[in-house]
Amino acid sequence: MRRTSNWSGEQRGYTSAEGTKRWYRFDEQSHKGKKLGYRLGISAQIGFEFQLRAETGFDRQAQSFGIGAEQTVGDSRFDAEVFIDSDDQRVGAALRRSPEARDAVLSLFRICRERGGTLNRVQAYRGRLWIHVKDASGLPTSNVANELSDALYTLNEALATQASGLHKAPDPFLRRAMLILAVSTGSPFSDSWPCRA
């Protein structure tokens, strides 16, 4: 996630339908002159990091083998289309509590699809919320970009409202990883093991 967050792009401002001045950043992605898609994002202080992406057959297969676990929100339409890629359980809880946030995510997927593109992911990281879109026609028109930005602002506001009442649970993997590392490397506390030869 860190690697993809270091982009700045060009800034553009507009006035929303409610009369609010809003800003977003965007950049076009290309390779050897061929347009591949774009990123469009806003500043956001949600309080947690995540990726939301289209659920794939691989995700479903991994879950059937017990390799991965998916956070679900109890909304069949959302759960069928969106995979929540985050170990932070607050993400699923916030989306579960907020129909506005779920609708904003689904509208991002819809807007991209209607334009002939594919929304690869919605990403929140270090005070930014943005989308990665695969679209061979390149950047959208300013009207479409404004519509995408409005959906990101709606998502940001809905998740920020929910985040204030949610507390981060400790990461269970961290404790297990530290224990395995300590045992395997012979850390100082392993001297107290009762079965030491």
User: Could you report the per-residue pLDDT of 89-130, keeping only the tens digit for each?
Assistant: 899 999 999 999 999 999 999 999 999 999 999 999 999 999
Contact 154, 100 (CB under 8 A): yes
pLDDT at 174: 63
State pTM to two decimals: 0.78
Q: What is the pLDDT of residue 55?
A: 78
pLDDT at 4 over 90: no
* Separation CA 53–CA 47 (nearest Å): 19
Q: Express each pLDDT in 160-186 by its tens digit.
A: 988 776 655 555 566 666 667 777 776
Q: Which residues partner with 41 through β-bridges? A: 25, 130
User: Domain-by-domain residue ranges, the chain?
Assistant: 7-169
Token couple for 113: 């699809």
Task: Look at 1 and 125; give whichever has higher pLDDT.
Answer: 125
